[in-house]
Structure 1
């Protein structure tokens, strides 16, 4: 049984359905564009400069720490992350509990960018002059070994954390790597 013509009711329903689909399609919002990750740094040099700036700020904050006032520790923590920050927290807590004082200022004397992986880590070799610093106990006796070098070196790993460069790890270098200048 074939139908030579469609019923007017069927044609009307088909037109209404087609029109509804067209209207719905026109009202459906276009998909949101997927954000493209943009690199935080355009070059290795920019990444190294940001890491050096972070380490300098960390050193300045460290120079302002008063071990009798734990609130001064917070400025240091904003430049660190992970195990490095955990170690700083533990060390400052011990210094505070033992009533040890840090005196003098350290100074970053060399920063050499070694590697930027363009994703999340920056590695650098640093040298810090610690010759004017001391840690003294409550009797005023220095707790720093007599044979401590005046300039201390480390390989420092920085991580990008919320678009901020933070110190994540530091591995000491051999004592003669950095020479006082």
Structure 2
């Protein structure tokens, strides 16, 4: 029995519509979903980095690795995990470091992780050390100095991962 032209036209249209639906379905499956919002905004990361730095600088005894551990990761964590010399174990420190300025200079994200770079100016003019149990003295000739630092997000916090004194002593 021959197929009538109207039946043939309807089948052709149905095949065309079905093919179009398949092509559209395949294309929509290939479309990328928008990236989720990053876990860190630039402002949040800068604020967390500054808070961590100020807490780290404010540690009463910089030779006490347990006091520093909550604020550091990476290079600095390894440094604090190293064995302290006997001289450092006997060192007494008094005074307070003062952060004169903190400037976050760079923010980057990779997935949910963020890094922050920054610079700070620190005044240690009230810091004194005593190594021999007798005489207190200032450990630095120039107690005001600059620092460059890196921070990395770890478990929802921003930790200090690298710290270097700047070549330029002026802040």
Contact 1:66 1:101 in 2 (8 A): no
- The 8 Å contact of residues 127 and 138 in structure 2, kept in 1 or not, is answered as no
Quick one: distance in 1 between partners of 2:154 and 2:97?
Answer: 25
TM-score scaled by length of structure 1: 0.63
What is the root-mean-square deviation of aligned Cα atoms in Å? 2.7
Contact kept in structure 1, 2:104 and 2:118, CA below 8 Å: yes
Change (3 A) 1:124 1:97: closer
Instruction: Specify the alignment match of 1:46 in structure 2.
Output: 44
Return the match for 1:164 from 146, 157, 160: 157
The residue aligned with 2:74 is 82
Q: CA deviation at 1:90?
A: 3.7
Q: Which SS does the other structure have where 1:87 is aligned? A: helix
Q: Cα offset for 1:99?
A: 0.9
Preserved CA contact (<8 Å) 2:98 2:124: yes
CA deviation profile, 1:40-79 (whole Å, cap 9, x unmatched): 322x22211110011111122x22x286xx5xx4232100
TM-score by length of 2: 0.67
Write the mapping of 1:130-141 to structure 2, written as runs, cut at 5 A. 130-141=124-135
- Structure 1: gaps spanning 5 or more residues: 1-35
* CA shift in 2, pair 1:90/1:151, >3 Å: farther
| Residues in 1 aligned to 2:91 and 2:130: alpha-carbon distance in whole angstroms | 6
Q: Aligned pair in 2 of structure 1 residues 126, 97: CA closer, same or farther (>3 Å)?
A: closer
User: Structure 1: how far apart are the matches of 2:164 and 2:62?
Assistant: 25
Q: Which residue of 2 aligns with 1:108?
A: 99
| Greater share of strand | 2
Aligned length: 135
Preserved contact between residue 87 and residue 131 of structure 2 (Cα < 8 Å): no
Change (3 A) 1:160 1:145: same
List alignment gaps of at least 5 residues for structure 2. 1-34
Shift in CA distance, 113/102, structure 1 to aligned 2, threshold 3 Å: same
